[in-house]
């Protein structure tokens, strides 16, 4: 992979990180902690692969001819494996830091981890598929991972605010379902044109509710009316 292609591959994730940092308007997070979270996101690909292999050992098969089993395999074997792997690095690293002191911080750190994961994943896909894959994933897979990060972060922010672990469980569950549906419809789009529409709906709703979640936590910041 040449330098220009590598930059094209990494640019979407880094751009989204900058956007989220900019959205955190009232109490900026330490840059060093954000960078560490990004690289921990890269590291989170390891447990994701391990969990995916365990899922295969239990019979999960995303390309199964049995539609309901293929869908369940995507939700649990892929969606849950990846999202839980990202979640544990946010929950047991960034979440415990003193800097995590408002609900929006859940979104900030979760997206940093998600973009680390997505960037490393992107490198592998683009190394095999080239420029066309880099451009396609710039507008699909990477924003999809970012939306998943926002969802998990939104509920982790609520968990931090209210002290109930149920929020984290809700966040992982919803994100695993969304991620699994996204992958399932994308994988089967070539077999059935209707799946393209379903994929667009899932993707569009994920992005839409991500922006809503960002606005909710940003506007609810306890630092909003304080001088920075």
Residues 89-131 have pLDDT tens digits of 999 999 999 999 999 999 999 999 999 999 999 999 999 999 9
Is residue 143 a contact partner of residue 205, using CB atoms and an 8 Å limit? no
In the structure, what pLDDT confidence band is assigned to residue 16 with cuts at 50, 70 and 90?
very high
Please provide the size of the chain in residues. Answer: 228
Residue 40's SS3 state is helix
Token couple for 111: 């997206």
Q: What percent of the chain has pLDDT over 70?
A: 99
Query: Which residues neighbour 43 within 8 Å (Cβ) at sequence distance 6 or greater?
Result: 89, 116
> What are the residue ranges spanned by the domains of the chain?
3-219
Token couple for 224: 């909003």
pLDDT at residue 1 above 80?
Answer: no
Please state whether the predicted TM-score (pTM) of the whole model is above 0.85: yes
């Amino acid at each position: 992979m040449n330098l220009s292609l590598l930059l094209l591959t990494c640019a979407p994730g880094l751009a989204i990180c900058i956007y989220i940092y900019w959205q955190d308007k009232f109490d900026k997070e330490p840059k060093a902690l954000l960078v560490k979270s990004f690289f921990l996101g890269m590291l989170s690909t390891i447990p994701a692969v391990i969990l995916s292999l365990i899922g295969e050992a239990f019979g999960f098969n995303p390309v199964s001819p049995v539609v309901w089993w293929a869908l369940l395999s995507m939700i649990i074997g892929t969606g849950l494996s990846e999202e839980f792997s990202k979640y544990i690095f946010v929950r047991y690293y960034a979440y415990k830091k003193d800097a995590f002191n408002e609900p929006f911080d859940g979104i900030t750190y979760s997206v940093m981890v998600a973009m680390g994961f997505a960037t490393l994943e992107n490198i592998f896909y683009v190394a095999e598929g080239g420029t066309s894959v880099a451009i396609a994933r710039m507008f699909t897979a990477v924003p999809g991972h970012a939306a998943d990060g926002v969802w998990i972060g939104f509920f982790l922010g609520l968990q931090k605010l209210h002290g109930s672990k149920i929020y984290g469980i809700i966040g992982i569950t919803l994100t695993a379902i969304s991620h699994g549906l996204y992958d399932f419809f994308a994988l089967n789009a070539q077999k059935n044109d209707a799946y393209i529409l379903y994929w667009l709906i899932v993707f569009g709703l994920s992005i839409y509710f991500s922006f809503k979640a960002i606005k909710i936590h940003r506007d609810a910041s306890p630092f909003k009316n304080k001088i920075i």
